[in-house]
Structure 1
Amino acid sequence: MSTPGFSDLTAVVVNCTLKPSPTLSHTQGLLDVAIAIMRAQGVEVDVVRAVDHVLAPGVYPDMREDVPGGSQDRDDWPSLAPRILDADILLLGTPIWLGDKSSVATRVIERLYGLSGDLNDRGQYLYYGRAAGVVVTGNEDGAKHVAMNVLYSLQHLGYTIPPNADAAWIGEAGPGPSYLDEGSGGPENDFTQRNTTFMTWNLMHVARWLKDGGGFPAGGNSRREWDAGARFDHPNPEYR
């Protein structure tokens, strides 16, 4: 069966580990599997380790200015955001801590939210026309909870979520080997291999459809037109 070409697609992979470079990141280890598949298909992949950047807390595009109550001295988000916005695919990776995504993943999503009110040239929300997925690692329960949380957040911002858009590996509950540790069984785990592969291909397929269609279809979803008075066949409660 022939598959469409993906060589004009771009992806950004944001690793939300708590470990700064060059410390070994098990989350990066699993993300590297998805990266290898995308690069084998010609996708240009940009890799970001978010903790290496100063991402000021807040939900404004630039926390150094125009911030009620005071500004931050440094904020790397304005230089990082264009790398995310330029990509057809966003793959966010996070470890599990206390059953939830990392604090770094929360910060990245909060900063993404700070741009969610902006519009594209169709009047749709800014993140329309892009595909997103999530990778989770850890040795405690919570992979599905984290995936639900992250994927909900990304679709709420406007990303398109493909089927099977999450992949995870968790070791035995409690202290023990992590994904890249010798003897963990993580890289050899068939369930994780399959889910990571399907997720990556589905991200590429959806990104291909969106790019070929010129973005997410317009119709009934323009914030600009809604604000101008359009109601897209929503029934008028005054005439029920």
Structure 2
Amino acid sequence: MTIKAIVLNCTLKKSSEPSNTDALIDEILKFFDESEVETEVITAADFKIAYGITSEAVDQEDEWPDIFKKVEEADILILGSPIWLGEQSSITTKVIERLYGGSSLTNEKGQYIYYNKVGGVVVTGNEDGAKQVSRSVLYSLSHMGFTIPPNVDTYWVGEAGPGPSFIEAKGFENDFTRQHAKIMAYNLIHFARMLRTHPIPAEGNVVSE
């Protein structure tokens, strides 16, 4: 059984720049690789993603439909976000709005299109706000139809105020963060496999009913 995962890194940086969020995402992917999960990481800042609440192209330059197709094909979706002013990044919000734009679409059973997909979140920063961002992202994914397994929020925050972030502070050596990265990875994989073999039944979950 091949499990596919897509990670949308919503850092404000391009993929050509070092990203603390990307570095923490890599800790999750180590476990995905061990379990032979097919994974693609997309840095949202590399793409022209227009504002809007739709899965369709907003204008000729809008590249969201190509990203959305990858989400449709995946079993696992992870959103990665830095913390700014205690909140998720502006790109995270934009991506969630575009995901929401496709949430009214349905699968072959007539269920919402994100049914039988699992979601998680990775958060980095050097200020408080990791649980606030996790709560916001995971609720959004759940509301759209994603299944949220237990403990699928992995985060790292250093000391309050200016200071070294995940890479410079060697956050990958933090026992709590390392443990949660492992738990998150395995729970996402377990639930993705479970939903592939035992999908959510259509009874009571068909949109037209």
**TM surpasses 0.5:** yes
Q: Whose RCO is larger (CA < 8 A, sep 6+)?
A: 2
Q: What is the rounded CA distance, in whole Å, between the counterparts of 1:157 and 1:211 in structure 2?
A: 19
Q: Deviations over 1:203-236 (max 9, x none)?
A: 00000100112x3222211112x1xxxxxxxxxx
Aligned length: 209
Larger Rg: 1
Gap runs ≥5 in structure 1: 1-6, 65-71, 227-240
Query: What is the CA–CA distance in structure 1 between the aligned matches of 2:153 and 2:15, rounded to whole Å?
Result: 24
Q: Look up the match of 2:204.
A: 220
For residues 132 and 83 of structure 1, the distance between their equivalents in structure 2, rounded to whole angstroms, comes to 14
SS of residue paired to 1:167: strand
Residue 13 (1) aligns with residue 7 (2) = yes
Separation in 2, partners of 1:11, 1:221: 24
For residues 107-118 of structure 1, the aligned pairs below 5 Å read 107-118=94-105
Q: How does 1:2-81 map to 2 (within 5 A)?
A: 8-64=2-58, 72-81=59-68
Task: Give the distance between the partners of 2:151 and 2:60, measured in 1 at CA.
Answer: 40
Which residue pairs with 1:142 in the alignment? 129
Alignment of 1:64-143 (within 5 A): 64=58, 72-143=59-130
CA deviation vs aligned residue, 1:11-52 (integer Å, no higher than 9, x gap): 001100000120000000000011111011111001100110
> Percent identity, aligned pairs only?
49
TM-score (norm 1): 0.85
CA drift of 1:110 comes to 0.4
Q: What is the CA distance between 1:73 and its match in structure 2?
A: 4.0
Measured in 2, the distance between the counterparts of 1:142 and 1:62 equals 32
Alignment partner of 2:159: what SS? coil
Contact map agreement 2:83 2:89 (CA 8 A) in 1? yes
